[in-house]
Chains A and B, each alone.
Chain A
Amino acid sequence: MADNLISVTGLSKQFESGDQHVTVLRELSVHLGRGESLALTGPSGSGKSTLLNVLCGLESPGSGRLAMLGQPLAGDGAPTGKALERTWCELRQSRLGVVFQDANLMPTLSLLDNIRLRARLAGRDDTSAGDWLQRLGIGELGQRYPDQVSGGQRQRAALAMVFVTRPALILADEPTGSLDRRTAETVADELFELQARHGCGLVLATHDADLAARCLHQLDLGHQGGP
């Protein structure tokens, strides 16, 4: 297995908008090693979310080469069709953790059930779900539903969901974007702390320069985005 969690070379991505082709990512190369963290910065529309979606397989890369956790997923040697989808699914199930700004939880399930469901889908033991809530300081909220807790508590639960799968790489899209500054800092602290402790990689898309500064690498997509 290669050392690189992420290996992106010459990635370009275009969207069609009416008659126009909008290039979101152009000839992008990103490499991330184990335990490393990368901040994606840039203004809105610079392609941060698109890159994250490509990295977790929810969007296909336009052109270029992509390998995740050593597995080629685009370009030479990459599987296609069903095999490609299967590979991505396996990756997302237990190797990749994805955190969005909000709405990471099934609204119809309690926080605990969300984590249990996530653990089950990852093929992990779901008995640790309660422990994760405890560790994130929301152990007493396990029976609450997402709409019954605060945004910060929801994001902590989202972190619990990510770490319950023991991922190798976390892809976080503005994970603190909807939180007030103090909560945001707490949640960010927890994220970096857990990342460090579990030695997983982290790709973090953010507007927040302070947050970005806490990452090992920074990539400003604002300089390469645009038509």
Chain B
Amino acid sequence: MNRFVIVLLALLLTACDRAEEPSGFAGLAGVAESEHEIQFLQPGPGDRLSFPADFGPHPQHRIEWWYLTANLETENGRPLGLQWTQFRQALTPRSVESEPPKPTLWPLEAAWMAHAAVSYSGQHRFAEKLARGDVGHAGATAQPFSVWLDHWHLRPASGHVGWRLSVATEHWSYDLLLQPQGDPVAHGDDGFSAKSASGEGSMYFSLVDLKIEGTVTLEGDTLRVAGTGWFDREWSSQFLKAGQQGWDWFALHLDSGDKLMLFQLRETQQAFRSGTWIPATGEPVALGPEQIGLTSVGQPAGYPRRWQITLPAFDVNLEVSAPAGDYRNSGLYPYWESPVSVTGSHSGVGYMELTGYRAQ
């Protein structure tokens, strides 16, 4: 990787004191000891979600993201996986009410990073964009709901109910209409999603069923696509506990109409697991660590491509596997983001995100 990363890292870390322990994936495990940290808000049990405001940014939190994964099909029925994510990383906390700094000062209070990926026919395409916040070319608003970085943007669709997401890179692009079905699902304790046994966590909700249609253009070939998407909103000031190495995250659309989100945060000896079971009918159920069985199957090193998921309480016994191919997003912070297929007690599709592994 080029020296730019070093520059960026140096920049991003200027506001944080150096951690004694490794600072985790993408610096997400910052240690809460710096002076600025006092001003960053840390979510905790009892915090509640508020709509539509929580679709917008949370400047007093250090990190947050808008995260879309989609399992689509082309007109002739071939699967196409798609991701769009925008991250915000604050260097200086700011309360929601206070005036943002003037763009002419080129403030460096927050950095934005956008990722987009398309997985099709065993090929994984990835692009990354960076920007500083408060200048104007990257940002997010709750009303109207809009998230953008340069010419990649998610915004209300004109003439439709729902949102339009467009992303373009030199070689490929997509333009999608997203129509959320149903209400946001709050994870964990009414939206506070614990990330360790000792209480670190984030605010986390999802739109688990988005009807998606649109076009994906790969090297000049335009494909009409349609399918299902999953949209996450999550924010925190300390996401990973120091010592946590990474996470494995799954969002599954089961053919039964049930949905499942679960993740584990890996530590040296153990893992912290959590999830949400969203039945086709009825209320979502938060899953405690003891309710989840999650093991990787048959791969000693590298990113595990096959997993065994069991939820004994719900008679769920799934095998989740990534299709053939390399689904690493090789940006500043490499991680795995792949569509998966589900077999076992239920069948279905979904997305899997793996971080903190050493590539094989």
* Direct touching of A and B (C-beta under 8 Å): no
Q: Could you list which residues of chain B lie within 8 angstroms of chain A, going by C-beta atoms? A: none
